[in-house]
Amino acid sequence: MSRLNYHHLYYFWQVAKQGNLTQAAKDLHVSQSALSAQIKQLEHNSGVALFERSGRQLILTEQGKKVLSYADDIFTTGQELEALLSKGVQSTTHVTIGVLTTLSRNFVEAFITPLMQRSDVQFKLKSGSISELLNGLTKHELDLVLTNRTVNLDTSDPYWQCQLVAKQPLAIVGPPQNKPDTLFPKGFANTRWILPPASSDLRTAFNALCAQHQFFPNILAEVDDMAMMRLLARDSGAVAVLPAVVVKDEIAQGVLTHYQDLPDIYEYFYAISTHKKVIPEAIKLLLHKARSDPEAF
């Protein structure tokens, strides 16, 4: 391979982030044909195809994704260096974290607390579905994704890096005046329930516990969004099955009471990233804290 042309690589980086040659050419103030020629020259020099066409869209090949990962690190670090040299002071680190739409906001806030305590960090939070978030990681629009779902890993050529960062016991939570004096299932015969959706791992575990005790819950609602489950637990008068962290404020205020944890049932929280050469120090801090104490959240 000949000496890498960083000018060509920069053009590739811009096109890869846009996914559209026309828009990238407009932003770079060059003709579309000139930009296309630069990309083809980079592919020729490197000996690999970086894009595949899908209609008017340019889709990164697997090799293109790897090259983008390096290009993103190179030019992001270059921008930070430029800011450092021009200002003469340490530049602010910018990180963007994707959050699964249905995830507990209380957990997210606890997880990012170390970032809120740093004056040299500015962060963005973006909510979305798991497919949207993984797409954001692929395009290097996100540095990290928080989710309660793991992803399938290709062990022969791993692209995703999935780390368990926390686990929360599943609890029974409800109005203080309705708390029984006995543990589940005794005292819950006339209870109405707010439960996770039937397709979730949490619900599967709860159903197994109910089957073990031959208990048939009277279901008021099935909810896949923790924010909505929090509201229903607070306002409906029913009993909810969820991690207590979701309603920690309501418990502290006495609006709800933590009846009990369910034995050996947990919700697991994961941080997903890509294998990159350069990981922002702020992200390393979050992951190190999670590794040292996954039950701290």
Q: What is the pLDDT along the chain (297 residues), one digit of tens a residue?
A: 456 788 899 999 888 888 788 888 888 889 988 888 988 988 888 888 998 887 767 888 888 888 887 887 788 777 666 766 665 555 677 889 999 998 999 999 999 999 998 888 889 999 999 999 988 887 778 889 999 988 765 554 456 788 899 999 999 999 999 999 999 999 999 999 999 999 998 999 999 999 999 999 999 999 999 989 999 999 999 999 999 999 999 999 999 999 999 999 999 999 998 876 567 788 888 888 777 766 666
CA pair distance 112, 123, nearest whole angstrom: 9
Token pair listed for 143: 């540095």
Q: Give residues with Cβ within 8 angstroms of 128, minimum separation 6.
A: 98, 99, 100, 101, 136
pLDDT for the residue 154? 55
Does this chain's domain 6-73 share its CATH topology with 167-266?
no
From residue 87, give the alpha-carbon distance in Å to each of 41, 83, 94, 184, 208: 36, 6, 16, 62, 60
Tell whether domain 91-166+269-292 is in CATH 3.40.190.10. yes
Alpha helices in 88-198 (DSSP H): 105-116, 130-138
Q: Give residues with Cβ within 8 angstroms of 48, minimum separation 6.
A: 61, 63, 64, 67
Token pair listed for 160: 């995703």
* Structural contact between residues 266 and 167, judged by C-beta atoms closer than 8 angstroms: yes
Instruction: Tally the C-alpha atoms within 13 A of residue 184's C-alpha that lie toward its C-beta.
Output: 26
* Structural contact between residues 267 and 203, judged by C-beta atoms closer than 8 angstroms: no
Token pair listed for 114: 């170390």
CA pair distance 27, 216, nearest whole angstrom: 61
The class (CATH top level) of 6-73 is mainly alpha
CB atoms under 10 Å from CB of 213, counted, come to: 11
184 by DSSP, 3-state: which?
Answer: coil
Domain residue ranges in the chain: 6-73, 91-166+269-292, 167-266
Q: Quote the strand ranges of the chain, DSSP E.
A: 51-54, 57-60, 93-100, 121-128, 144-147, 160-174, 192-195, 218-222, 239-243, 257-274
- Give the right CATH number for 167-266 from 3.40.190.10, 3.40.50.2300, 3.40.50.1220, 3.30.590.20: 3.40.190.10
Nearest of 138, 83, 167 to residue 272 by alpha carbon: 138
Provide the whole-model pTM.
Answer: 0.68
